[in-house]
Amino acid sequence: MLRTVVRLTPTFIFPIFENRNEHDHDTLKPQNAETERSGIERVKKMFSRNEYEEVSPELHNVVQAAMCGAFFGACMGGFARSRDAYLYFIENNQATIFKSTMEAKKKLQDYVTVAFAKGAYRWGWRLGIFSGMFSLIATTISVYRGDTTLVEYITAGAITGGLYKANLGLAATFVGAGLGAALSTIAGLAILGLLKITGVSMDDIRKAMYRIKEAREDQFNQAVEKSAKIKNDDLTKHHDDLVAEKGEKNIEQLVE
Q: What is the mean pLDDT of residues 189-205?
A: 82
Asked whether the predicted pLDDT for residue 183 surpasses 80, the reply is yes
Own/partner long-range contacts of 85-90 (Cβ < 8 Å, ≥24 apart) = 85/111, 85/112, 85/114, 85/115, 85/116, 86/112
pTM of the model: 0.65
Give 79's pLDDT tier (boundaries 50, 70, 90): very high
Cα dist. 146→20, 29, 202, 230 in Å? 17, 10, 11, 48
Boundaries of every domain in the chain:
39-245
Q: How far is CA 111 from the centre of its chain?
A: 33
Highest mean pLDDT of the ranges 63-67, 143-147, 235-239: 63-67
Q: How many CB atoms lie within 10 A of CB 24?
A: 14
Low-confidence winner among 111-115, 148-152, 162-166, 200-204 (lowest mean pLDDT): 200-204
Question: Is the pLDDT higher at 81 or at 18?
Answer: 81
Question: What's at 6, amino acid-wise?
Answer: V
pLDDT at 33: 45
pLDDT at 252: 60
Q: How far is CA 211 from the centre of its chain?
A: 14
Rg (CA), the chain: 27
Give me the percent of the chain exceeding a pLDDT of 90. Answer: 10
- CA 40, 43, 48, 49 dihedral sign is positive
* Per-residue model confidence as pLDDT tens digits over 22-41: 444 443 344 444 445 677 88
125, 87 Cβ separation under 8 angstroms: no
